[in-house]
Amino acid sequence: MQPKANNNLLLAAGIFLGLTLFAVIASNAAISIKEYERTVTVKGLSEREVLSDVVIWPIQFSAAENDLKALYESLDEKTAHIKDFLEKNGIKSEDISFTSPSVTDKSAQQWGDNARAEFRYTAQQNVTVYSQDLDAVRNVMSKLSELGKQGIVFTSGSYQFQTEYIYSSLNELKPDMIEEATKNARKVATKFAEDSGSKLGKIKRASQGQFSISARDRNNPHIKKIRVVSTVEYYLSD
């Protein structure tokens, strides 16, 4: 019995020492892993100001007559007059398009008071300029009142008939802007590492934010501000 008891005691002691050694090794490994996992997450910004390269300019005007044939003749005349005016001021013919007129017969309406309208028929016609020549379009915009003085009534205020400026060359800027945003993020991370007495390591993960395009301000909607933010997480070491 004595030798067997001694063997059991030695076995228990060996197991205890083994578990203790394993715990020490595991603890040191955990500390090492924890130190290796020290990271810093930073953001890098890149911005550009660019001129729009496409303008969509909807021009809406109205006409009123008591005779339907006379109404359409008036619309055709005004449409031709506007087209001629635009072309004389540098707008290409292929950049001008027209939509079918929207005609209202007030005598057929079932709402409103019973007062007789001055004109039975009213209509709205749309002329749209889609051009890459922003200078020419913006120049003729300032002259549109000349047509108003000639009896053409323009309407405005509807959201769907607001002038729209577009920048269509974003893909050409993306590579440089992403590179700049990443470099700016690294500068911030490097400064943080220096201030904390650490060294900046490799990138652990990175994500690119969405590109946003907006008007620089309300008075200059044709000037666009492009913005992207990259988020980068770096490893830190002592």
Structural domain containing residue 46? 39-51+169-238
Tokens, residue 49:
């100001």
In this prediction, residue 208 carries a pLDDT of 86
Asked if residue 86 and residue 145 are part of one domain, the reply reads yes
Asked if residue 154 and residue 58 are part of one domain, the reply reads yes
- Mean of the per-residue pLDDT values of the chain: 84
Q: In this predicted model, what pLDDT tens digit does every residue of 39-54 receive, in sequence order?
A: 999 999 999 999 999 9
Q: In this predicted model, what pLDDT tens digit does every residue of 60-77 receive, in sequence order?
A: 999 999 999 999 999 999
- Count of domains for the chain: 3
pLDDT over 90 at 209, yes or no:
no
In this prediction, residue 34 carries a pLDDT of 47
Asked if residue 138 and residue 67 are part of one domain, the reply reads yes
Cβ atoms of 119 and 66 within 8 Å: the answer is yes
Instruction: CATH number of the domain at 124, please.
Output: 3.30.70
Report the pLDDT averaged over residues 6-25.
54
Residue 165 burial class via C-beta count within 10 angstroms: exposed 0-12, middle 13-18, buried 19 and up:
buried
In this prediction, residue 14 carries a pLDDT of 55
In this prediction, residue 18 carries a pLDDT of 55
In this prediction, residue 238 carries a pLDDT of 78
Residue 110 vs residue 153, higher pLDDT: 153
- Residue 103 CA to residue 121 CA, distance in Å, equals 7
Asked if residue 114 and residue 23 are part of one domain, the reply reads no
Q: In this predicted model, what pLDDT tens digit does every residue of 156-205 receive, in sequence order?
A: 755 567 899 999 999 999 999 999 999 999 999 999 999 989 999 999 99
Residue 32 vs residue 154, higher pLDDT: 154
Asked if residue 216 and residue 196 are part of one domain, the reply reads yes
Asked if residue 160 and residue 66 are part of one domain, the reply reads yes
Residue 232 vs residue 18, higher pLDDT: 232
Q: How far apart are the first and last CA of the chain?
A: 57
